[in-house]
Chain A
Amino acid sequence: MTAQAQELVGATRKESRRLLDGWWQAMTAAAGDGRPTAYVFVMGSFNELLRVFDFVLNFPEITALQTAVRGQSGVYLQAAEDYGFSPDICGYVKVDVGLQLKGGEHPHGRVPRPALVLATNMCNTYVKWAEFWEHHYGCPVFVLDLPAWRGAGAAPDPADPAFQRDRRYVEGQLRELIALCERVTGRRFDIDRLRESMAETNRMAALYHEVLALNRHRPAPFNAAREGITYQGIANLYRGAPEGTRFFALARDELRERIRLGLGTVPDERFRLLLAGTACYTHFKRFVELFEAWGGVFVLSTYMIFAGGGFVPGFGYDLTRPLESLAEQMLQAAWWGFTGAMFYPQEWLADAVRDWDVDGICLHGVKSCRTTSTGLPDVREWLRTQRDTPGLFIQSDLVDARLWSDAQIKNRVDAFFEALAARKAGAGR
């Protein structure tokens, strides 16, 4: 391996750790010094706007999943259930409730109290989650309505008066949010800073799409489940910041180098797969292993779309009219990147099967998330009957280890690959 290759291969992972550590350091410091922290969610980003006011950003979905990856989510789940929350509600919510009840103590550091909570209606559970913080801390809660996928029909068209009506609503709400941020922080809104941040997101989004597209290569240079989670995480945490843009430039460069070197994410790539739905964090490594054992690699996932910022193809803020454009892009993301990708993804998946040369789809339903999981069996059925695409439907959870059944899942995964292998043999591939 050349010196350049040696420098690049593995560099993204190293940089992601540095960035994640940096984020935790900022949060832990804010927990100590009281710097205003905004609680935000991955579907419906306010990063560009919040950066104008220098908020520290806490992502409770990310802090929750990190406890599960560390094998420690059970303690937080138990604390929330002892507090009164049902075993049947979202595990992310409960882990966070447990975390808040423990004064923000987290395996990676300390989560600060919220000065402001922002949610969108992309997930109704976000709203109930925000109401918990409202009860617990008495903090202001802002819910942004994003009218999204409403049923079958054409994609939202900015020229359509109905879209413009929605856009006016979103823009009006964003202006109300700006006024709230000014009250909370005591700082004035600076539209130039907003433009800077939006310009950064433009650059990052283009790179994010480049990164996704590099996985069309055979062998795929990254796993959309394993590395994808890191890409999603950085895309959320550092959206609108130069570090985020630099990270994805590095990721793109490393992936190009991997392709040049013939380095696939698995040594012997035999099956290319899509992942529809979320990951299982308590058994994250195991989840990926079950597929890689068969030479299976996730080349793309809906998760990288709806939890990675919802960047629509051709995404780009118009910096000459920043607030209007912010509203427009949020709506586009809401329709295509979030609700479309979760509620009506079948044609997108069918196109991805063709464009990424995919052999089959794993649809992973989780108890914690009805938003992503409810219709997955039906999506699988549609793909099977309408597009002759093999699908595997399995269920576990995001953060609750009690819902992982290794034998059952392994059995189904193995049977799926046996069928894929037979299909390939029958097709002479």
Chain B
Amino acid sequence: MTGELERIIDDCRALVEDPSYPAVRRWLADHPGGKVLGHFQVYFPEELAHAAGMLPVKIMGAGSTVQIRQADARIAAFVCSIVRSSLELALAGHLDFLSLFVIPSICDAVRNACGVWVRNFPHLPTQVLYFPQNAASAHAADYLAGEYARLVQLIEETTGQQVTAARLAASIAVFNENRRLLRELYRIKRETPWLLSALEAYVLTRAGGVMPREDHNALLRRVLALIPQRPAKRQDRIRVVFEGGYCEQPPLDMLAVIQDACYIVDDDLLIGLRWLVDDVATDGDPLANLAWAYLHASSYSPVQHDPRKPQAQMLLRRLREAGADAAIVAAPKMCEPGLEEQVHYTRALEAAGIPYLVLEFEETMTTFEQVGIQVETFAESLLFEFA
């Protein structure tokens, strides 16, 4: 049974590292005429697409799996890698399966890059989804429900399928289960990190963004049944929260290097797939329910301004709830919101007397000696301090 778990994790790793999106292509082969909606980071209400019978797929860069050949001629320097590599995937034909592409309004680089997508792929409807940055406004929920309705109309035009309230409710139920299963996965990682490493949890989570959610739910259910049977033993390592993986993703080997030195007991890696922290109601108006959940029952990130959820305070809360000893505060190169947030995070951590390590990364990194040395030194110094 342990062998089965290892195989599932390996399969998930292979899936997330494959720029040809094999699970998407299998779904298309099984669903002739099926349509795929691609969405960029951070969060997208995938239920909207699912309810029309579309396959929602998260486009989150290509790491070092694809060489940038064409995108650099389209995008200015000083822009983060995930925007470039996502465009490269499309220019190189890896995303030829997309029928619709949605870009949430998370940052300036990607909003401007929407123009690049529209100019280069005139056959592919590409839209910006404007999430409220005035999240505390009394009018924000109505606005957001309206924005979702606008996208539903586009989805209906693309698929020829009507997105009824009943279909949306059914889709919400599927994604509610997915989020519950992911919360359970994270609970195990938090409470018994020796049973499930951060890297394993990561590939298991990320796989959900590139495969049908029903399949991902079945996979997670099986994984959760197998994990308790692992013969792993607790080790003497410091417990850290990794913060900074909400958009551009750190290379898998970077996570491996970090987890060699400490337990990553919580993180914001691919937080968009876990954005909603509770079940979304399935009765009533589904679009209103999804909008309400985005605004009132959601996590946090540097790209969502919400005075009710100041990011630094939310990080401290995450550390407390995870029983973490320290934080690794990371940001991708050239990431304006991430790099700016780092300053507030570190000041809050200092004020709270919580040790932290600041890292910068790029999804295309291939050498990690320096990161390894930094993390090892950091972890050892804390073990010595806590001893």
Q: Which residues of A contact B (CB under 8 A)?
A: 83-86, 88-90, 93, 121, 123-125, 127-132, 134-135, 141-145, 147-152, 162, 165-166, 168-169, 172-173, 176, 339, 342-344, 346, 365, 367, 369-379, 381-382, 395
Contacts and interface: CB of A to CB of B under 8 A. Distances in A.
Contacts of B341: 128
Contacts of A376: 76
Given A86-B340, A166-B146, A173-B134, 11 more contacts: A84-B347, A125-B336, A143-B133, A144-B134, A145-B130, A145-B132, A145-B140, A344-B115, A370-B108, A371-B112, A375-B76
B116 interface: yes
B333 A131 contact: no
Given A150-B127, A374-B108, A374-B112, A89 B339 contact: yes
29 contacts: A83-B343, A85-B340, A88-B339, A125-B337, A134-B307, A141-B307, A143-B305, A144-B134, A145-B134, A148-B130, A150-B130, A151-B127, A166-B143, A166-B146, A168-B142, A176-B139, A344-B119, A365-B77, A370-B109, A370-B334, A371-B108, A373-B79, A374-B75, A374-B112, A374-B116, A376-B76, A378-B115, A379-B115, A382-B119
Given A121-B130, A127-B305, A374 B109 contact: yes
A151 B73 CA distance: 21
B340 A93 contact: yes
Interface in B333-376: 333-334, 336-337, 339-344, 346-347, 360
A302 B302 CA distance: 29
Given A344-B118, A375-B116, A143 B134 contact: yes
Contact of B76 (A130, A168, A374): A374
A172 B128 contact: no
Interface residues of B, number: 60
Contacts of A89: 336, 339-340
Nearest to B73: A377
B107 A124 contact: yes
Contacts of A339: 111
B130 A147 contact: yes
Contacts of B8: none
Nearest to A146: B130
Contact of B343 (A84, A342, A369, A377): A84
Contacts of B116: 374-375, 378
Contact of B77 (A128, A367, A369): A367
B161 interface: no
A61 B23 CA distance: 47
Nearest to A369: B108
Contacts of A173: 134, 137, 139
A152 B118 contact: yes
A258 B361 CA distance: 55
| Interface SS majority for chain A | helix
A151 B125 contact: yes
A404 B334 CA distance: 18
A343 B112 contact: yes
Contacts of B238: none
Nearest to A120: B133
A165 B112 contact: no
A174 B360 CA distance: 39
A425 B268 CA distance: 59
B137 A84 contact: no
Contacts of A135: 312, 344, 347
Most chain B C-beta atoms within 10 Å of own C-beta, residue among A121, A125, A162:
A121
Contacts of A346: 119
Contact of A165 (B108, B109, B143, B305): B143
B321 to A, nearest CB: 23
A378 B305 contact: no
B75 A152 contact: no
A22 to B, nearest CB: 32
A346 B120 CA distance: 13
B76 A128 contact: no
A77 to B, nearest CB: 14
Contacts of B290: none
B137 A172 contact: yes
A343 B109 CA distance: 10
A121 B105 CA distance: 9
A84 B346 CA distance: 9
Given A151-B114, A169-B143, A343-B115, A176 B138 contact: yes
Most chain B C-beta atoms within 10 Å of own C-beta, residue among A88, A145, A165, A369:
A145
B78 interface: yes
A163 to B, nearest CB: 11
Contacts of A166: 143, 146
